Amino acid sequence: MTEQGLSVMPRWPLAACYVGDRTVTLLEAEQRRPGAGEVELDVAYTGICGTDLHIVHGAMDARVSLPTVLGHEMSGSIAAVGDGVTGWSVGDHVTVMPLDWCGSCPACRAGHTHVCHNLNFLGIDSPGSMQGRWVVPAGVLVALPPDLPSEVGAMVEPTAVAVHDVRRAALRQGEKAVVVGGGPIGLLVACVARAAGADVLVLELSEQRRALAELLGLKAVDPAGCDIDALVADWTDGAGVTVGFEVSGAVAGLDQAINLLAVRGRLVVVAIHATPPPVNLFRVFWRELTLIGARVYDRSDFEEAIRLLHECAVPAARLITRIEPLSRVAAAFDALESGEAMKILIACGEES
């Protein structure tokens, strides 16, 4: 990724923008007062995730408008409150659930607002949080405990993804589960599943990522470097695991997850595959498997994520490779691209 040459440094507040052509650059953020029903946030940290990388790769060019301000994993505090906003005050410590739904489509009417047919995902469909100040509808705010470190606050959104995935699995105490793919989301899924009482095994190709999984107290193996079928058969007395989480985004990972499931096992599909993957439906039929899709989260997932982080049941801060200032955002994207880093937070405040 490249950063555009800037003859004059733009002034704070700055925004990290995707401007097309695989380029992330800093632009002066649009400044406006919060309108009715809106709040203005002082952004402390914004995490960079795989979705931001997809945007910068151009994979979502049909969806984003340029330049687009990136970012949807954030923490911060309220700087100003617009007319008609109740229950929130300047200085409140918050994160954002970056979903704004229509309220009238079939999904919304059925109560599944998080998968609204007309969903506005803040940071994709509208400006995101990788900027010093961010104006958002008050309805997306989620309160953070005042003593939760802001770095951890920026990990609430990906942790809420993991909480949603585990909830969709209806995971029960003592179940054996595999998580295929030990990236940030996979490791968070594994930690949340463990907190729910499951016995979890992470399958991950990268040695560096397996080492991080072990630092988090998780069991992790290289599926390419061992006889994984035999290992899981041994672990489960020949039955297979009752739950698999597909978090690799790779066809081989999906195949593996299906093959390792016990009779009546459940596969939770978390990963976004670049192209529709082939699925071993014979195995689904033969073992009476259940396939479960899991997309983003709802408010209860955010609240549970905050509780798990606050109680340190999910040690998400250990996933943060480092924190970089906004001025180094292009280099941070490069580090994630190369696989060198797991999670990088961008410090968006004025003094960063």
Task: Kindly list the residues in this chain that would bind Zn ion in the complex (CB under 5 A).
Answer: 49, 51, 101-102, 105, 108, 116
State which of residues 141, 166, 195, 203 lies at the interface with ligand NAD (CB under 6 A).
203
Q: How far is the CB of 43 from Zn ion (least distance, A)?
A: 15
Catalytic: 54?
A: yes
Q: Is 181 in the site for ligand NAD (CB under 6 A)?
A: yes
205 interacts with ligand NAD by CB under 6 A: yes
- Which entry of Zn ion, ligand NAD, none binds 294, CB below 5 to 8 A by partner kind? ligand NAD
CB closest to ligand NAD, residue no: 183
Rounded to 5°, the CA angle 42-122-150 comes to 35
Contact 26, 13 (CB under 8 A): no
Residue with tokens 């704070």: 12
Residue identified by tokens 């797991």 is 342
DSSP 45-85: EEEE-HHHHHHHTTTTTTT--SSEE---EEEEEEEEE-TT-
Query: SS3 breakdown of the chain: % helix, strand, coil, rounded to 5?
Result: 30, 25, 40
Quickly count helices (H) and strands (E) in the chain.
11, 18
For residue 85, CA distances in Å to 78, 89, 90, 111, 139 come to 12, 9, 11, 24, 9
Work out how close the CB of 134 gets to ligand NAD at its nearest, in angstroms, rounded to a whole number. 20
CB of 185 or CB of 195, closer to ligand NAD: 185
- Name which of 40 and 100 has its Cβ closer to ligand NAD: 100
Query: Catalytic residue among 25, 46, 51, 242, which?
Result: 51
Site string for ligand NAD, 151-170 (x = CB under 6 A): ----------x---------
Q: Does 59 bind ligand NAD (CB under 6 A)?
A: no
Check if the beta carbon of residue 33 is closer than 8 Å to that of residue 11: no
Give yes or no: 164 in active site. no
Partner whose binding site includes residue 296, from ligand NAD, Zn ion, none (CB under 5 to 8 Å by kind)? ligand NAD
Give the separation between CA 199 and CA 174, rounded to whole angstroms.
6
- Catalytic residue set: 51, 54
The contact set with ligand NAD (CB under 6 A) reads 49-50, 161, 180-186, 203-206, 209, 223, 247-250, 252-253, 256, 270-272, 294-296
